Amino acid sequence: GESVGLHLPTLSVQEGDNSIINCAYSNSASDYFIWYKQESGKGPQFIIDIRSNMDKRQGQRVTVLLNKTVKHLSLQIAATQPGDSAVYFCAEAINQAGTALIFGKGTTLSVSS
């Protein structure tokens, strides 16, 4: 079965809007979560991560929220730009060096001007 998944395969927003991409995970043992961005023809690019002892973490224009009660992870992108158009994956791992990342299926974000 799938350990990590995303609620919506696609999300279309207007430039300047805020975007919210959601992810559900099922492995209670996972304690490290990461969001990756993948542009066409490229490898996954790290965006932001969060440990299980936190419920919110902010970066530049991005915020990750973690709700361990319902095993839900979200990525918020503020003032979405056309350059944000990509596939976004959440991934989970057990907090240990060298551990495999388990990826979800991905949400394609399309930003129109």
Partner 1 sequence: EPEVTQTPSHQVTQMGQEVILRCVPISNHLYFYWYRQILGQKVEFLVSFYNNEISEKSEIFDDQFSVERPDGSNFTLKIRSTKLEDSAMYFCASSEQRALYEQYFGPGTRLTVT
Instruction: Using CB under 8 A, list all residues that contact partner 1.
Output: 32, 34, 36, 41-46, 49, 51, 89, 91, 95-106
Contact 16, 77 (CB under 8 A): no
Residue 103 CB, nearest distance to partner 1 (Å)? 4
Measure the CA–CA gap between 11 and 32, rounded to whole angstroms: 25
Measure the CA–CA gap between 98 and 13, rounded to whole angstroms: 36
The smaller minimum CB distance to partner 1, of residues 17 and 62, is found at 62
Measure the CA–CA gap between 97 and 37, rounded to whole angstroms: 22
Residue 17 CB, nearest distance to partner 1 (Å)? 26
The smaller minimum CB distance to partner 1, of residues 14 and 110, is found at 110
Residue 44 CB, nearest distance to partner 1 (Å)? 5
Bridge partners, residue 21, by sequence: 75
The smaller minimum CB distance to partner 1, of residues 26 and 46, is found at 46
